[in-house]
Structure 1
Amino acid sequence: MPLTVDALLGLRDLRLTLVAGEAGRDRVVEAAHVSELARPGEWLRGGELLMTAGLVLPTDPDSCRAFVRDVVGGGAAALAFGVGHGQPHRQPPAGLVTAAEEAGLPLLVVPDEVPFIAVTKAVFAALAAEDRRALEHTVEVQRRLTVAATAGGLPEILAVWLDATGRAAVVTDLLGRELAAVGAAAPALVAAGRTVLDAVGAQGLLGSASLAVDGLTVAVQPIGARRLRGHLLLTRAPQPRLGTLDAALVSLLTLELERRLLADEPRRRAGAEAVARVVAGLPEDQVGPVLAAAGLSAPRVRGLAVAARPGEAADLAADLALVLPGGLVRWSGDTVEALAAGEADATALLDRFAPGRAAGIGAPLRPGAAAVSLRQARALLATSARLGRPAEAGEHSTSRLLLSLGPPELLAAFADTALAPIDAADPGGQLLATLRTWLDANGAWDVTAHRLGVHRHTVRNRVDRIERLTGRDLATATARHELWLALEARGALAHAAVTA
C-alpha cells in the first residue's frame, strides 16, 4: 500500500497530529522536504510532505492564505508544522489552520521532541518498504504469469493478470480485432483503442499511446518480436511502481503471439502451395476445391501481388496471411503473391501493411479464374510503381490506368478534340451524360431512356445531334470507340486529380 497521510499519522514514534484538512487523509506522500522559504512552491515536484517551523511566516490571515496557496500550487501532499520549545510557535497560527482547512490541505503538527530529520527518515523508510513490497509483488505476479503462459494461452495469462492486478486488459490482432479480454472495463478499452490503433499500428513496434476517454485512462502497447503482431490495451496502473508489470505482460504476450504464428506455419505453407498450384495451371474445375481445402471459400477471389523490399518478403507474406480474409500467400524472391476473398478491401490493407510498395490488385473473379486475377495483379506492378499507389483491375479501371500513364496534356488534348463540339453546344453536359449512358448500354435505346428517365425518342434526338456536332456516324464501332476513349480519358484525368 502507498504511504498516505493517514498511514503517516499512524506511525506512533512520530506522534503527529492532524489539525486541518481531514478530507486529505488519503493523499499519497512520495517524499519529505524541509523549507523555511516564504514561497517554497517552486521547489516542490508534487507529493511532498513539506515541513516548516514558520520562521518567516507572517501570521495574519491573508499571508497564511497566500502561503497555503503557494504550497498547494507546488503539489505538496501535506504540510507539517513544527512547534514547541525553541521554535517560533508553540502551536500553528490560527490563520494557517483556517487557510489549510479552506484549501483541503492536511496540516500536521510535529511535536517539539520529534526533529524533522526523524520525520524525514520515517517517510523514506516507509517508501523503501513500499518499494520492496512492490518488487516482491512484481516478482510474484511475473511468476504466476509465466506459469499461465507455459500451461495455457492468452485467456489464462489475462485471467491471472486480472486476479493479480485488478486491471482490465484487451489483446488485439493487427487489425484491431479482439483476441482476448478481461475485466469489466474491457469494452470501454476496445472503444477507446479504436480511435488510435490505426495511427499507432502504422509506427510498428515503436508505436504506443496513452489517452483518456470518459474518465478512463488507456495505455496502448505494441506486441511483437521482430514485427508487430498486435496490441495490448490496459487501464492505467494505480501506482507508477506497478507499471513495471506492464512490460512483463507485454513480453509474455509477445511470446504467445509469436508461438501462435509459428503454430500457424503449416496452414500458411498449405496456402502457399495452393497459390503455386493455381499459378502452375491447375484445371479450372479443381481450383475451387483446392482453395477451399486451404481455407479460402468465397464466391469470388482476387489476386494480389506486392513488390517487397529486399529481405522482407517472408515477413510481409506472414503479415498478409494474417490480415487478408481467407488469405493464401506465397513469396518468391522479392515478390509476394496472394489470393483473398473478393470482398476484401485490398487497397486499404496494402496501404496499411505494405505502404510504399508497388502492388497490383486483380479483379474479383470466380475461383476457377483465380489464375487470371493473379496475372492481372502481377501485370499491374509496373503501373503501381509508376503511379505511386496500388493499381487495381476492375470495370473500366484498366483502361483508365493505361490512359493515365500518358502525359495529362496529351490526354486532355485528345479528349477535347473529340468532345469540344459537344461541350460548345451543350455547356450543361446533358449531351455528354446521354452519350456515356448510351455507350454503357451498348446503344440500347430503351435501356438508356430508362436509366436517364426520359423518352426513348429524346435519346434518339440527342444521339442524332451528337452525330451532327461531331461529324461521326455512331452506327460504326470506330466512331463509338473514339468517343468512348475520349470520355475515359477525361475520367482518368479526373481520377488522377482526386487521388493526387
Structure 2
Amino acid sequence: MRVDDLLHLESIGLHLVWGDPGLLRREVTGVTATDLRDPTAYLQSGEVVLSGLVWWTPRGGRNKADQFVAALRNAGAVALLAGVVRHNGVPAEIVRACREQQIALVAVPAHTTFRTITDAIYVRRWSDLSSPTDLALPDNVPQSLHRLVRDEVAPDVLLDRISTYLGGLPCALVTASGRTIARCSGASESAPAAIADSLRRADSVNQQIKSADAPYDAWYLHLPVGREAPPLMLREVAEVLRHYRELSMQAHAAGQLAVEDLLAELDDAMSERASLALAMRACGMAEQGRYRVISAATVPYRRVDSVAALRELVSHITDRPFVVGSHGAQAVAIIGDISNPVELVRSVHDLVQSCDPGTSIHVGVGSAAGTAEELRDSFVRSNHAQRAAASLGRDVAAAEDLTTLNELLAGVSAPVRAAYSTQVLGALLEPGASHAGLRATLAAFLDHNGSWTKTAEALYLHVNTVHYRIERIEKLTGRDLSSLADRVDVRAALLSAAATEPDDSIRHAS
C-alpha cells in the first residue's frame, strides 16, 4: 500500500496537511507509534510514524520539530501521522519542518485512535500481498503480541490482533480433536468434526503450536479452507501462541498438587469427611454441590496421554470449570454435573480418539454426587466402570449400566479376578486337553442351566459322558453344581478367568 491509500480510508478520516504527489506514492511497509524526541533507534525504512506530538512545546519548538522530523527522514520514514488533540491542530513549526525535509504530513482527527490506524494499515498491507514464503512480520509486531500475552489478555482478543497482522484473515485456535479454544471476531463457527477432518486432510493452512505433551492436547492455528498466509508469518504467530500456551499451562500446573491430594482423599475410604471437604475447597469446589467423576485410560497406557485425552474429552462436553488429575493407572476428572453425561461422552469419544489412531480410550462415568460422601461413591464407580469398559472392549461404560455378572466382574482388577478364579477352579485351570474339555463342559452346563440333555446336545456328547465330566469337576473344585450358590461362584470364576486367559473353553462361559 502507498501513503495516499491511507487518505482514502474513510473509516479513519485522515487529512493531508502537506505532501507532494511523489511523496504520497511512496510504499508503506509498516507503522510505529512514538513520542520520543529522537526515535531513530526504533524506526525502519518505509514506515509511517504515529505521534501525539507530546515531545513538542512552543518553547524551543523549531529546534524540536527539526530534530524529530530529521530522525524520520534519516530512518527512511515515509510519512508523519500527527495527532491534533494535544495542540488543537498541527503546529506550524512541524508543518514547516516536514515541508523542508520532504516528509508527508497527515493529521489524525480526535475521534481516531492510533490502534485503529495501525490495524487499518496492516489489514491493507498484508491483504494485498501474494504470501511469499520469506515474508515476515515487522520486527515490532511479535514484540507487541508477546506483550499482550504477558498482559494476560483473553485469547479471542489476541486472535483479533493476530488476524489484523495477517491482513484480516479469519483465524481460530483449535485442538487436534477440532475443539475451538478461541477465534477472532471475523471467524465463523465450525463443527469440531469438520475442523478435525481439515486438520487430518491438511486442506487448509493449519500451523501447529509446539510444546504439546500428547497428541490429544495439540493446538493449531486454523485458517479457512483456501485462504493462506506467508509460512514465515505463521511460524512467528505460532511462537506467540506457544508462549500463551505455556503461560496457561504454568497457571494450570500450580493447582495440580491440590487435585492429586483430592483424588487420594477420595480413594481413602477411611478419610474423614472434614479432610475430604478441605481437599475439595483447595480445588475450588464447594462441599455441597452437584458433581460427577469421569475416569479414563488409554491403551497402551501412558499417564500423560490419559490425562490429556480425558481433559480434551471433558472440554468438549462442558464449558464449566473442572479438574483433571491421575490416580493409579487412570486419569480422573471431576466436573459439575451435566445432563446425559454418558451420551455426551459417547458423542465425542471417537473425535478425541482420532487424535491418536494407534491407541484406544476407555472411559468410565460415575454417578451424580451432591455431597462429599457421594463424590467418593462417584469416584469408586467411575473407576470400576472404566476398568469394565477396558476389559469388555467398550469405549464408554457407566456403573449403572453394568447389569450382568460378567459386566460387574469386568471392573474388578485383573489380579483380584485371577486370584479368585484360581481359588475357586483350582486344578481345573491346569493346562492340557483333558482339563480344557472339562472347562468347556462346565461352561456349557452352566449356559444351559444345568440341563444334562441340552449340554450333551450342545457338545455332541453322550449324556453319560456329561455326567462323568461334571462329577470330575465337582471333585476337582469341591463344589456341588446342584447348588445355585456354587453354580454362581463357579460361573464367576470362569468369567474372571476368561478376562485373563486366551482359552476358548473359558471364553465360552462369557
- How does the TM-score come out when normalised to structure 2? 0.43
- How does the TM-score come out when normalised to structure 1? 0.44
